[in-house]
Structure 1
Amino acid sequence: MAEFKYEIVEEIAVISESSRGWSKELNLISWNERDPKYDLREWSPEHEKMGKGITLSAEELKTLRDALNKLEL
């Protein structure tokens, strides 16, 4: 498997935390030294391990925000 680098540029929000100590977070992350993107995934307590997640550009995040604002929760 190819190695990759990541840098958490900004920790935006913790969405939830599990009993194992992992947390679902929204962060701004630079992957492989590229421009940062918004990222939603689970992280171990010290951010040394991660689960599967999704990465969104600013425009995609705005579209998601607008769609969520239309929901009646």
Structure 2
Amino acid sequence: MPDTFSYEVLESFGTLSEAENGWQKELTMVRWNDREPKYDIRIWSPRKERMGRGVTFSKEELITLKSILNQIQL
């Protein structure tokens, strides 16, 4: 298993929050290791050269999540 990986942020859909150090929690579309792009929620450094842990979704999973969120009364 390789020690390195590659990623490309294809699109940023919006920022959920921003920390005092400038890192932002965002919903993005990311291509990991030249695979099919996925939707992704995680924290990114200001220029997206570093990232924190996050959660990755296929399109179908994101559609399901959207449906669940729409049912929650806030």
Same fold (TM over 0.5): yes
Identical counterparts, % of pairs: 49
CA RMSD of aligned residues (A): 0.9
Show CA shifts across 1:14-50 (max 9, x none).
1111111100000000000011000000001110110
Equivalent residue for 2:27? 26
Compute the TM-score of the two structures, normalised by the length of structure 2.
0.95
Cα offset, 1:2, TM superposition: 1.1
Question: Runs (4+) of structure 1 moved beyond 6 Å?
Answer: none
In structure 2, the gaps of 5 or more residues are: none
Paired residues in the alignment total 73
In structure 1, the gaps of 5 or more residues are: none
Amino acid at match of 1:56: F
Rounded to whole Å, the distance in 2 between the matches of 1:4 and 1:27 is 18
Rounded to whole Å, the distance in 2 between the matches of 1:20 and 1:40 is 18
Compute the TM-score of the two structures, normalised by the length of structure 1.
0.96
